[in-house]
Amino acid sequence: MVRSEGISRARFLAGMAAVGALGVGGRAEAATGLRYRGVSYEVTDGETPATGWNATRMRGDLRAIKDGLHADSVSVFGDGVERLGATASEAAERGLNVWLQPRLGDRPPKEILEHLAETGRHAERLRRQGAKVHLSVGCEFVLFVPGIVPGDDALERIKNLTSGNYDPEKMMRRLSAFTARAAKVGRSVFGGPMTYGAAEDDEVDWDLFDLVSVNYYSYFPRRSGHVRELTKYRRWGKPVVISEFGTCTYEGAPERGGMGWDVVDYGRPRPEIKGHLVRSERSQAEYLGVLLGVFESMGLYAALAYDFVTPDAPHRKDPRHDLDLASYAIVKPVWKTRDAPTEHWHWEPKEAFHTLARHFGRRPA
């Protein structure tokens, strides 16, 4: 197969045996088009008060996701049980299918599991009220949960994984053990369909889950390469979910996969784009359009584009400081000042937004 020469998220896990498959027993879906189509929406503190989670902004964003993007689903992820719960409840009120994923990182495992339990209880309340809710117990634990590989935070763990500074056997034992604990906690509080956001080369015991989910950032020059890659995830016989897919906003970003964001020098007085990247909203939009076509043709269960907005990565006319180049978001934040946002910053749709909107808007009834 042909792969990108750049580093993808999957290649973070180079020491893991790539089983090339996700899923467990059950019946695979037929190739009749996606059942759920949507976008990811992060809830977070933000780097400034103006870019952190805000209930008013959240409601406006979800309105745009439902009415402007024509999505039927939203993946609500991040930390803070109250933020997650409020966003998920608002999405359900608007008739969106909710994919709820707590993503508390760089905290003791016990706290991460407690955070999962509280989030799962809220998901269960929504489910019992009639909302369509899926619970994901987390995302790429090897990066976000301390103790699986060395490193004080995700960036240090990435560095250790790519440099080989870890024990693959210990990593797999620890990862499997924590995933099993998370699945047990999820089952104890939530009665609906459950999954886990795995990296492409993760080894996961999918017997623990109802759905197979993969964060998909592969690049192939032809659609057939994607089909071949994704077909492997059906070997377990369970519905396949693309829990994340996307690319950044410059020429060549699709080839860099899950490492497309690593083009910013944060060591300068003002964060600066490294090298001479060429902004290309068209490249981002075309990549998303191709993948959606592949997912539809294969009849996958769900596809959730990553992601809606990254408030701390503003678009600027000066390409050296256009941090939106390094963003996977389908809208671009526009700040009112050069260095810091005010509460009145806004976003504008990129070409990718319109590509998704056209695709979602013509989905079959």
CB 248 within 8 A of CB 258: no
Tokens of 128: 């019992």
Using CA atoms, how far apart are residues 171 and 159, in angstroms rounded to an integer? Answer: 15
Using CA atoms, how far apart are residues 346 and 25, in angstroms rounded to an integer? Answer: 46
Q: Which residues contact 258 (CB under 8 A, 6 or more apart)?
A: 7, 8, 9, 10, 12, 199, 215, 217
Using CA atoms, how far apart are residues 323 and 337, in angstroms rounded to an integer? Answer: 14
Q: Where are the alpha helices (DSSP H) in 152-280?
A: 154-163, 168-189, 223-231, 253-256
Using CA atoms, how far apart are residues 201 and 14, in angstroms rounded to an integer? Answer: 8
User: What digits encode the pLDDT tens for the residues 248-297?
Assistant: 999 999 999 888 888 999 999 899 999 999 999 999 999 999 999 999 99
Confidence of residue 336 (pLDDT cuts 50, 70, 90): confident
Prior bond of 307 cis (ω within 30°): yes
pTM for this entry: 0.89
Report the amino acid identity of residue 273: I
Report helix, strand and coil shares of the chain as percent, to nearest 5.
Answer: 40, 15, 45
- What percentage of the chain has pLDDT greater than the value 70? 90
Which comes out higher in pLDDT, residue 9 or 232?
232
| CATH value of 10-361 in 3.20.20.80, 3.40.190.10, 3.30.360.10, 3.40.1830.10 | 3.20.20.80
How far is CA 20 from each of CA 47, 214, 233, 236, 270, rounded to the nearest angstrom?
A: 37, 11, 7, 11, 41
Using CA atoms, how far apart are residues 364 and 356, in angstroms rounded to an integer? Answer: 15
Does pLDDT of 30 surpass 80? no
Report the amino acid identity of residue 192: G
User: What digits encode the pLDDT tens for the residues 79-116?
Assistant: 999 999 999 999 999 999 999 999 999 999 999 999 99
User: What digits encode the pLDDT tens for the residues 176-227?
Assistant: 999 999 999 999 999 999 999 999 888 999 999 999 999 999 999 999 999 9
Q: What's the pLDDT at 58?
A: 98
